[in-house]
Structure formats: structure tokens, C-alpha cells
């Protein structure tokens, strides 16, 4: 099972197909192909859900913060 995580876009490659993102403060690289094909390419500062190296859906900052809060809560309970 894959979990989608909130990711903030830091930088988009010139071709617009890949981006550097931060997921819970950790830098990662994701493909934007799904969102580009849907005609909704995100830019720096935008939030997306990332799953298995793909940005699969745009989300609001409020949604991202709520998800981050839930994830850090769950992590604390697991310890």
C-alpha cells in the first residue's frame, strides 16, 4: 500500500515535468507528469500530494498542514 504525502514544491525544472519538493522537511524529487497531462501544472510554493515519486493531486496549504499534523501525531503514537 502506498501513502500519499503532502509536498511543497520548491523548484520546477525548465521543462515543467519534474520538481524538487519538501515532504515533512525532507527534500525529494517528483514527477509532475500526471498534473501536466491534466492541464494543471503546479509551480513553486504550491502543494501537491505525492505518491511513489509522482505528484498526483494539487491540495491547498490548509489541507497540507492538516495532513502533516495527522502524520506527525501518528508517528508520535507509534513510538
Q: What is the pLDDT of residues 47-64, one digit of tens each?
A: 999 999 999 999 999 999
C-alpha cell at 36: 501536466
Give the span between the Cα atoms of 78 and 74, in whole angstroms: 6
- Overall pTM > 0.85: yes
Q: What is the pLDDT of residues 1-10, one digit of tens each?
A: 568 999 999 9
* pLDDT at residue 79 tops 70: no
Residue 52 DSSP code: T
Class of domain 5-73: mainly beta
Give the span between the Cα atoms of 24 and 60, in whole angstroms: 15
* pLDDT at residue 11 tops 80: yes
The ranges assigned to domains in the chain are 5-73
- Residue 72 forms beta bridges with which residues? none
Q: Are strands 26-31 and 18-23 parallel, antiparallel or unpaired?
A: antiparallel
From residue 62, how far is each of 6, 30, 58, 59, 69 by CA, in Å?
Answer: 11, 21, 12, 8, 11
Amino acid at each position: 500500500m502506498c501513502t500519499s504525502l503532502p509536498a511543497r514544491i520548491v523548484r520546477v525544472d525548465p521543462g515543467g515535468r519534474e520538481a524538487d519538493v519538501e515532504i515533512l522537511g525532507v527534500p525529494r524529487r517528483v514527477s509532475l507528469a500526471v498534473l501536466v497531462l491534466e492541464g494543471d501544472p503546479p509551480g513553486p510554493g504550491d502543494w501537491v500530494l505525492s505518491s511513489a515519486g509522482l505528484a498526483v493531486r494539487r491540495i491547498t496549504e490548509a489541507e497540507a498542514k492538516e495532513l502533516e499534523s495527522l502524520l506527525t501525531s501518528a508517528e508520535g503514537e507509534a513510538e
